[in-house]
Structure 1
């Protein structure tokens, strides 16, 4: 699972670099529009993930750093965050 998350983070980072490179030097005609569209869709999905997981990130030691990582890596960073401990049920 660690390999999958690491590879996903790497590919997400490479894609972000491709989108930024496309902004500096646009690719050929149909390709630059598709890269921009895919970049905007990925950013929208990651913003949605930050909004949906905001409550679970508030209790973290560095919530803003986690929000930034979720914005950059998305679900690949969310999978590395441990789940909150469930309260124990009392059996009376």
Structure 2
């Protein structure tokens, strides 16, 4: 699974590079609008992921670095964060 998440991060980074180049030098007519739309939708989704997962990042060593990675990579970074150890509840 690590290969899948790494490949997803690489492809997401490649998309952000294409979106940045599109902002600096717009592509031909229909493509520049589609890339801008896809980039804004992806940025919105990543910000939503950040809002929903913000509480789980509080105990991490570098929460701001994790937040920045979530903004760039989204779910591909979230899946690489280990789950917190579950505390055992006593039923006595």
* TM-score normalised over the length of structure 1: 0.97
Q: Which runs of 5+ in 1 are unaligned?
A: none
- CA apart distance, 1:84: 1.1
- Superposition map of 1:22-41 within 5 A: 22-41=22-41
Q: Which moves more between the two structures, 31-40 or 80-89?
A: 80-89
Q: Deviations over 1:16-48 (max 9, x none)?
A: 000000011100001000000000000000000
2-structure distance, mates of 1:87, 1:55? 17
Q: Does 1:62 align with 2:62?
A: yes
* TM-score normalised over the length of structure 2: 0.97
- Superposition map of 1:9-20 within 5 A: 9-20=9-20
Give the alignment's Cα RMSD to 1 decimal. Answer: 0.8
- Superposition map of 1:40-51 within 5 A: 40-51=40-51
Number of equivalent positions: 92
Q: Which runs of 5+ in 2 are unaligned?
A: none
